[in-house]
Amino acid sequence: MPNVDGITLAISAHRTCPTTRIVLISGQASTVDYLEHIRSESYEFEFLPKPIHPAELLKCLHTS
């Protein structure tokens, strides 16, 4: 995505639709550190590390 990263997009989506469930998927280890930082600002997103098996993704998406 040009000019925006996934976490910034997730924060924007959360501000627009605060009841929307957001699941982030990333293969970058630095994402975990960034998520810890934004949790301190009261944003809580689900995170799945890559690679992820399709069955694991479906399991995550079917739970609430």
For 6, 7, 45, the CA distances from 12, given in Å and listed in that order, are: 10, 9, 12
Q: List the chain domain ranges.
A: 6-61
pLDDT per residue, tens digit, the chain (64 aa), is: 688 888 889 999 999 999 999 998 888 877 777 778 788 788 888 888 889 999 999 999 998 6
Question: 41-56 pLDDT, tens per residue?
Answer: 888 888 888 899 999 9
CA distance 50 to 40: 24
Element (H, E) at 39: helix 30-39
Would the pTM count as exceeding 0.85? Answer: no
Cβ atoms of 5 and 26 within 8 Å: the answer is: no
